[in-house]
């Protein structure tokens, strides 16, 4: 295939606040039965890109991860070279880019529009924002139509949310199962006011058909360019906007890794009393009572799920990897608390005699 001679590949960029349901959407699209062959690029903030591993049902070839940085600032060159390499190596119908929950969609979109080598192969097709309707309802101030100061992550992160809403073609109002119906009307009208142009879909577990977000031809550069968000971002870029990965928007993250399993009761008790500041945790862990099981942990705002998500395969090295994201995290204290939940070598009650309060399926 010679560059420029082939059709350009449509690109969908998925952004959204931490834990809103982006990975849920990506998994759904990868499993699409509409016949699209989709390549996925994920960018997670955290030392380990657990998102890439949590994207299920895909071979390694389908999922590229850009770890250790935020594609919205530091990784734009990597993004450009990864996507051009991908187009050289493989034939696929659509590219799906999952931005981390703190990435602003603007610079990612810009790479596809302004980088010549990228624009030769790709066409920016759809900007999707996944909004946590439950979090939005809890943290939005109806008086000002803006997120409250207390909203998770504070003002700066709240501004990212506003950007994500203003700067999209398709908006999923996700987690509708958690919000009373009449409240949803209120949330939708606020969102509609912020973003009159986008198609808004109310979803539970990001349940939209692939056609809603792939190859829609909805991206309208002229409309976006006229939007307030775009102008503000251009002005900020002019003033040398940058933020530091790992502490972007006042948010920091770290990954807890160990090959020693958790004592089920101790770890469960720890999960009952989350340390302050953590508003997102995800990954997988080992439980001493179930050495063959991959246990998943997913906490977004008030909802926590922890339970089996698969079995370790013979080539795996069973390891706990939990990413914590939050504001003013006391990393050292959290690590110590987690260490105290691990089973000790020797001297313990035999594993089979421990009670295990976690769900089995």
Q: Which residues bind ligand GTP (CB under 6 A)?
A: 16, 18-24, 51, 101, 174-175, 177-178, 204-206, 280, 282, 298, 300, 303, 305
HEC assignment per residue over the chain: CCCCCCCCEEEEEEEECCCCCHHHHHHHHHCCCCCCCEEEEEECCCCCCHHHHHCCCCCHHHEEEECCCCCCCCCHHHHHHHHHHHHHHCCCCEEEEECCCCCCHHHHHHHHHHCHHHHHHEEEEEEEEEEEHHHHHHHEECCCCEECCCCCCHHHHHHHHHHHHHCCCEEEEECHHHCCHHHHHHHHHHHHHHCCCCEEEECCCCCCCHHHCCCCCCCCHHHHHHCHHHHHHHHHHHCCCCCCCCCHHHEEEEEEEECCCECHHHHHHHHHCCCCCEEEEEEEECECCCCCEEEEEEEECCEEEEEEEEECCCCCCCCEEEEEEEECCCHHHHHHHHHCCECCCCCCCCHHHCCCCCCCC
Distance of closest approach, residue 232 Cβ to ligand GTP, in angstroms: 23
Distance of closest approach, residue 343 Cβ to ligand GTP, in angstroms: 26
Check if the beta carbon of residue 165 is closer than 8 Å to that of residue 193.
no
Of 175 and 249, nearer to ligand GTP (C-beta) is 175
Of 178 and 322, nearer to ligand GTP (C-beta) is 178
Question: What six digits make up the tokens of 224?
Answer: 């976006």
Separation between Cα atoms, residue 276 and residue 326, nearest integer Å: 9
Distance of closest approach, residue 6 Cβ to ligand GTP, in angstroms: 31
Of 40 and 343, nearer to ligand GTP (C-beta) is 40
Of 282 and 321, nearer to ligand GTP (C-beta) is 282
Of 135 and 261, nearer to ligand GTP (C-beta) is 135
The residue number with the shortest CB distance to ligand GTP is 101
Distance of closest approach, residue 268 Cβ to ligand GTP, in angstroms: 17
Distance of closest approach, residue 300 Cβ to ligand GTP, in angstroms: 4
Distance of closest approach, residue 44 Cβ to ligand GTP, in angstroms: 6
Distance of closest approach, residue 334 Cβ to ligand GTP, in angstroms: 17
Distance of closest approach, residue 323 Cβ to ligand GTP, in angstroms: 8
Question: What six digits make up the tokens of 253?
Answer: 């993250």
Q: How far apart are the first and last CA of the chain?
A: 47
Of 288 and 320, nearer to ligand GTP (C-beta) is 320
Of 206 and 294, nearer to ligand GTP (C-beta) is 206
Of 206 and 342, nearer to ligand GTP (C-beta) is 206
Region at 154 (left for phi over 0; alpha for psi -120 to 50; beta for the rest): left
Of 24 and 164, nearer to ligand GTP (C-beta) is 24
Distance of closest approach, residue 162 Cβ to ligand GTP, in angstroms: 17
Of 198 and 206, nearer to ligand GTP (C-beta) is 206
Distance of closest approach, residue 130 Cβ to ligand GTP, in angstroms: 6
Q: What is the dihedral of CA 107, 112, 117, 121, to 10 degrees?
A: 160
Separation between Cα atoms, residue 2 and residue 345, nearest integer Å: 59
């Amino acid at each position: 295939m010679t560059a420029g001679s082939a059709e350009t590949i449509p690109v969908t960029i998925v952004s959204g606040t931490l834990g809103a349901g982006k990975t849920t959407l990506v998994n759904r699209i990868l499993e699409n039965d509409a016949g699209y062959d989709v390549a996925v690029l994920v960018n997670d903030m955290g030392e380990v890109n657990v998102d890439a591993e949590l994207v299920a049902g895909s071979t390694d070839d389908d999922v590229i991860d850009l770890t250790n940085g935020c594609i919205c600032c530091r990784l734009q060159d990597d993004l450009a070279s990864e996507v051009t390499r991908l187009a050289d190596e493989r034939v696929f119908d659509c590219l799906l880019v999952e931005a981390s929950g703190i990435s602003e969609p603007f610079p990612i979109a810009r790479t596809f529009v302004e980088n010549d080598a990228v624009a030769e192969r790709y066409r920016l097709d759809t900007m999707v924002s996944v909004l946590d309707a439950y979090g939005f309802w809890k943290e939005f101030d109806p008086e000002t139509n803006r997120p409250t100061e207390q909203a998770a992550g504070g003002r700066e992160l709240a501004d990212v949310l506003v950007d994500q809403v203003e700067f999209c073609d398709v908006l999923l109002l996700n987690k509708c199962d958690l919000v009373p119906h009449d409240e949803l009307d209120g949330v939708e009208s606020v969102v509609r006011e912020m973003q009159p142009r986008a198609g808004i879909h109310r979803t539970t577990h990001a349940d939209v058909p692939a056609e809603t977000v792939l190859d829609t031809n909805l991206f309208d550069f002229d409309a976006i360019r006229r939007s307030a968000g775009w102008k503000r971002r251009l002005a900020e870029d002019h003033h040398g906007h940058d933020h530091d990965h790992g502490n972007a928007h006042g948010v920091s993250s770290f990954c807890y890794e160990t090959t020693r399993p958790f004592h089920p009761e101790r770890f469960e008790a720890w999960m009952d009393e989350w340390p302050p500041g953590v508003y997102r945790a995800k990954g997988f862990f080992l439980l001493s009572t179930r050495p063959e099981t991959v246990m998943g942990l997913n906490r977004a705002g008030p909802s926590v799920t922890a339970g089996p998500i698969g079995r370790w395969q013979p080539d795996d090295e069973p390891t706990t990897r939990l990413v914590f994201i939050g504001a003013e995290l006391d990393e050292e204290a959290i690590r110590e608390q987690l260490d105290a939940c691990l089973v000790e070598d020797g001297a313990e009650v035999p594993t089979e005699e421990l009670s295990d309060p976690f769900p089995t399926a």
